[in-house]
Amino acid sequence: MAKQGEIWTAPFPYYDDREKLQVKRRPVIIVSKNEINDKNFDIIICQISRHEQNRILKLPQELKNKVLIITSSNLLPGVGKGLRNISIIKPFKLFTIPKDILLSGEPIGKLNQQTLQNLLNKIHDLF
C-alpha cells in the first residue's frame, strides 16, 4: 500500500513546446499521511524533476529556497531501484491522484526520515 515518503512513478500532465497537453510517467513523492492514504481514494503527491540549475534559476525568488535537492543518498538503502539522477522536489507542486492510478505505477524508493521531515517542513512553511 502507498505510504508517506515513498517515491512512485505516476502519469503526469505537462505542456510540450507546442503548448499541447501531454502525459508522461514521472517520479512523485507521497506526502499525505498513511491514515489518509489508507482511508481515501485519492493520495496527495509532490512533483519531482531532474536537477538542472536553470530550472531553479527560472523560479520566482521566493520559491528558489523552497526546493529540495535529493540524490539516492536521501533514500532508504535497499528500497526500490532508486533515482537515476540528482533530482529536485518542488513542495509548491502538490497534486492529488487516485490511489489506483498511483498504484498502477512503479515504486522507486522511499525518502529517509530526515529528508522526509525536511520536505514536510518546507510544505508547512509554504501553507
In a domain, 23, yes or no: yes
- For the chain, how many structural domains are there in total? 1
In a domain, 1, yes or no: no
Structure-block grid coordinates of residue 78: 535497499
Q: Which domain holds residue 28?
A: 6-126
Give the separation between CA 31 and CA 64, rounded to whole angstroms: 20
Average pLDDT, the chain: 89
| Grid cell of 30 as nine digits | 507521497
Instruction: Give φ, ψ of 51 to 5 degrees.
Output: -70, 125
Mean pLDDT of 32-56: 88
| CATH number of the domain to which 98 belongs | 2.30.30.110
Domain assignment present for 88: yes
* Residues 69-124: tens digit of each pLDDT: 898 889 998 887 778 888 889 899 899 999 999 999 889 999 999 999 999 999 99
Q: Supply the pTM of this predicted model.
A: 0.86
